[in-house]
Amino acid sequence: MRTHLPSATTAARRLSQRAAWRSSWLEFSALVLITVVLVDCLSRPWNQPPMLAPLLAVPPALAGIGAATVRRPLGYGAVSLLAAIAIAAKPTEYAPWLPVTTIFTVVIITAVATAGTAVNVLQERRIAAVTSVAEAAQRALLRPPPPRLGPLGFDVVYVAAAAEAKVGGDLYEAVATSAHGIRMIMGDVRGKGLGAVELATDVLGMFREQAHDACTLAELATRLDAGLGRGLGRHEEFVTALLVEIDPESGRTSIFNCGHPPPLLIPAARDGAATRRVTLLEVPAPAPPLGLLALGDCSDAQLIHALQPDDQLLLYTDGVTEARDAKRAFYPLPDRVSVLAAKAAGSQAAGKALLKPVSSVGVRQGQSQGLLDLVRTDLHKHVGAPLDDDAALLLVQAPAAWPAAQIAKAPARATA
């Protein structure tokens, strides 16, 4: 299994298509308006004033709204100006000042729309430059875990929020330790912006170092909390986190929850069922978030579970479960995963891994889709718009058989 981060190509293509659609409607409406004004004003007798002439100032004003280049308001203004000059060339007995006033108004509106567009384009370029740097820093921070650690396979998806809130504090990591199996973290920094990214960097740095030394997940959480406590005066934030430890020999899984959404257990396929009965692995009482750990009781924040062969474990942030549709309904992740997991398994060839490899550009090879691809598509379909918050999903795939079970069966086979 390979990891991947979603490319912005699809989103950019969709935005471009929407912009082109809006531009076509604007051009059509402006053409109809200018045509109606010309026909009405030029067909009137000389003793009737051209009352619709001031409407020629509307097209350049509308063209300046959301324009990506100054050419659009300038072009619309030029067409409106030519129409106003044509109307002014026809003599009229009443209100002879109206055509001249219309010309003056069109020129002023076009100048204002052009200047406003130029300022907006300059600001958008500056924001895009800053955002691209921030995104590059965030991608360097969120290094995808390797496609395989020991017997476990990994897949990850990071769904960015709307452009104005693109830089968030979601974090994830998986490391293989020599004494404590494979340890993972999924976290979410309260707040957004570069401060959240900085805090996420601190947490990931501490986790990568402490995951090899801390004897238990509770001790690991305490060390991360202590490290954050030394910097709270600087950040004034906290981090919800889920710590997971899996024994690569037996599949014994330990979960320590610090105020984070519980992981989803996706059992292996049984008899080609249309749905999977997913389970939330909830601890008896979650501990407070990292940075606030000392304020609560952590004695019941841990859960032990035996991960079975071919089971999957889905870790995620609240950007997934708190995504709302037009009716303000939350995304029902457990219910949707129950259906999508079976669909993903059914789309794969028999005997092949559930998660397909990715190419160098981050697109899955083949026609089949993995579970996280389906969840991401379904999430966007549910929301119908860019997410308000970042969303991260980390999928862990158990092997077809744990090494300890294979060793236990070997003597029996030899005796037989």
pLDDT 10s digits, 71-102? 888 999 999 999 999 888 888 777 788 888 88
Furthest CA-CA distance within the chain:
116
Residues 296-306 have pLDDT tens digits of 889 999 999 99
Run of H or E including 156: strand 152-159
pLDDT of residue 405: 72
Using 50, 70 and 90 to split pLDDT, how confident is the model at 12? very low
- Residue type at 226? A
Average pLDDT, the chain: 81
pLDDT of residue 358: 39
Sign, Cα dihedral of 325, 329, 330, 334 = negative
- Asked whether residue 129 carries a pLDDT value surpassing 90, the answer given is no
Q: Which residues have a Cβ under 8 Å from the Cβ of 3 and sit 6 or more positions away? A: 144, 145, 146, 147, 154, 155, 156, 358
Residue 353: phi and psi, rounded to 5, are: -65, 150
Residue 224: phi and psi, rounded to 5, are: -65, -40
Using 50, 70 and 90 to split pLDDT, how confident is the model at 9? very low
Q: How far apart are the first and last CA of the chain?
A: 36
Degrees to nearest 5, angle at CA 57 with 55 and 62: 105
Mean pLDDT, range 262-273, rounded to an integer: 82
Residue 404: phi and psi, rounded to 5, are: -65, -40
pLDDT of residue 329: 93
Nearest to 289 by CA among 239, 244, 232: 239
- Asked whether residue 248 carries a pLDDT value surpassing 80, the answer given is yes
pLDDT of residue 208: 94
Mean pLDDT, range 148-167, rounded to an integer: 79
Residues 37-66 have pLDDT tens digits of 888 888 888 778 888 888 889 898 888 877
Q: Which residues pair with 156 in a beta bridge?
A: 394
pLDDT of residue 276: 73
Q: What is the pTM of this model?
A: 0.68
- Asked whether residue 233 carries a pLDDT value surpassing 80, the answer given is no
pLDDT of residue 82: 92
